[in-house]
Structure 1
Amino acid sequence: MAMAVNAARLCRLAGRTVPSLSLTRWTRFISTSPGNNLQFRLDERTAHSSLDLFKKDTAVIYRMLGLDPSRGQNNPERFRDWAVVFGDEKIGSGRHYWEVTVKKSQQFRLGVAEAQMSREDCVGTNSSSWVFGYTQRKWFAMTSNKIVPVTLVGKPDRIGILLDYNAGLLGLVDIQKPAVIHTMRAQFKTPLCPAFGLWDGELLTHSGLEEPEGLK
């Protein structure tokens, strides 16, 4: 299974790998839950040592050599083994939308994770996180070590994420159309945070946005 191999390669960091993945599918969704114009910054306390925040903590860059690994060594919120960072807002209800600009990156993940997710895991590899990933010029959806190819989308410079907490849905949005390209379905039971994995290049977040009219 080629996509499973790609995911394992993407998540290999600090000598760790991801087990084989199985396939599943999610369907499109329509929801009328109210929106809250979620606004967040990236939470430096959670950032792996290879990730450096900038632009007033709205952007993240991957540093191959990483920062001082002893930074915040007594901080249990920091990811130690995976190049992951969370947003600083917790989401427990409502419908929310944000966008991400991708710069010079061929390996990244965008989505949400439970605020209390284990810092020993990589986003997408457990049942506490739901992400859309990009690697080797292909998109995929991933949760609980299960991966699904996402088609009909290339590598845009900017992509949207739509979360409907009450409906249990997460969507990948083509902002040019605008249209939901792919959705993931879940039963969210605890507060979520925006979640990002990055293995090269930069990601710039854009929050506090109105949901595009075409998605409602």
Structure 2
Amino acid sequence: MRDLIHLQFRLDERTAHSSLDLFKKDTGIIYRMLGLDPSHVPNNPERFRDWAVVFGDEKISSGRHYWEVTVKKSQEFRLGVAEALMSRDECVGTNNSSWMFGYAQRKWFAMTSNKMVPVTLVGKPDRVGILLDYEAGLLGLVDIEKPRIIHSVRVQFKSHLCPAFGLWDGELLTHSGLEEPEGLK
């Protein structure tokens, strides 16, 4: 068993779409329908212009990592990882440089390269875990009540990854620096 590195990250304001407000020392995001006027947001090449997406500020290139996300009042969101250099003109989950778990229309799905695979998860938990094992090429959606991996995506990661989040209503709160729950092998 490799040691779990307790990944600590904040949300990277430089990548945040103008409709996403960061709060709680950059660990949470709120979707604002109107958002900021994009012309009032510093124009930098790392920012998502067309999609309500934000990245975490840590780059991951090895190890096993675990974090959790609390979902508040959101009916449409995506959680997962993306290559740090992913094009900012694309949405997470629609290309082959991001691997996401999403929730929309009261259903969960896994999403890569614009292919959606239904995830059988009853109801919508208020808090879920994400497990990333870089070398094993595993991204898992974790039911923290049980705890168990509900669904996993297998992929050969080839470059630096960042935690990635998409949000189209409500708010998300990230919890990093956590111990991986017992029994997730």
The reply on whether 1:149 has 2:118 as its aligned counterpart is yes
TM-score normalised by L of structure 2: 0.98
Match of 1:68 among 17, 28, 37: 37
Q: Is the 8 A contact 1:107 1:135 kept in 2?
A: yes
Q: Report how far residue 72 of structure 1 moved.
A: 3.9
- 1-structure distance, mates of 2:25, 2:152: 30
Counterpart for residue 202 of structure 1: 171
Q: Which has the higher strand share?
A: 2
Shift of 1:34: 2.8
The answer to whether 1:108 aligns with 2:97 is no
| Unaligned segments of structure 2, at least 5 residues | none
User: Deviations along 1:9-28, whole A, 9 cap, x unmatched?
Assistant: xxxxxxxxxxxxxxxxxxxx
Aligned twin of 1:21? none
Distance 2:40 2:88 in 1: 15
Select 1:162's aligned residue among 107, 116, 131: 131
Structure 1 distance, partners of 2:113, 2:102, is 14
Q: Does residue 1:189 correspond to 2:168, yes or no?
A: no
Task: State the Cα RMSD in Å.
Answer: 0.9
- Greater share of helix: 1
Structure 1 residues without counterparts, runs of 5 or longer: 1-31
Percent identity for Structure 1 against Structure 2: 84
Shift of 1:73: 4.5
Matched, 1:82 2:51: yes
Runs (4+) of structure 1 exceeding 4 A deviation are none
Who is 1:59 aligned against? 28
Conserved in 1, the CA contact under 8 Å of 2:58 and 2:163?
yes
Question: 1:48-78 CA distances to partner (integer Å, 9 max, x unpaired)?
Answer: 0000000000000000001120134530000
TM-score normalised by length of structure 1: 0.84
Moved more, 71-80 or 45-54: 71-80
CA distance in 1, matches of 2:23, 2:53: 15
